[in-house]
Copies of this chain bind each other. A is one copy, B any other.
């Protein structure tokens, strides 16, 4: 299974959010080729601004594994994590983070700058299917402005 495949799965989660009127962001957590957690943004449905795709996918993965650290897992998410989600990923000691598109407004780098907020062993990559992710977000906000 490739990064492309799992990012498609994360984009599928983002589309579920879009269908429910939520900002379309999705995430999956993968270990040994298996999806061990999924999540999409549920801020509106839960009336809880902490219900981000990454938080939900991480909690699902902790539950599935019965573990509170995920050093051998990869998180795929359609948009650069915010500061909160970056902090959660730090605690998780996750092995790898792959995000599709940068988020200039709310991405963690806006606050943390050159300092990585993640565990020293966590690898970070970006750019896979970034355009597709941004199109979803743009479609959402264009529809809201109508």
Contact = CB atoms under 8 A, between A and B. Distances in A.
Main secondary structure of the interface of A (DSSP, over half): helix
Interface string A46-87: 111110000100110011001111000000000000111111
A140 interface: no
Interface string A112-130: 1101010000000000000
Chain A interface size band reads 20 to 34
Contacts of A111: 111-112, 115, 117
Chain B CB within 10 Å — which of A44, A55, A62, A83 has the most? A83
Copies of this protein in the assembly total: 2
A59 B63 CA distance: 19
25 contacts: A43-B68, A44-B68, A46-B62, A47-B67, A48-B58, A48-B68, A49-B69, A49-B88, A49-B91, A50-B62, A50-B91, A82-B87, A83-B90, A83-B112, A83-B117, A84-B84, A84-B86, A84-B87, A84-B88, A84-B91, A87-B87, A111-B111, A111-B112, A112-B112, A113-B115
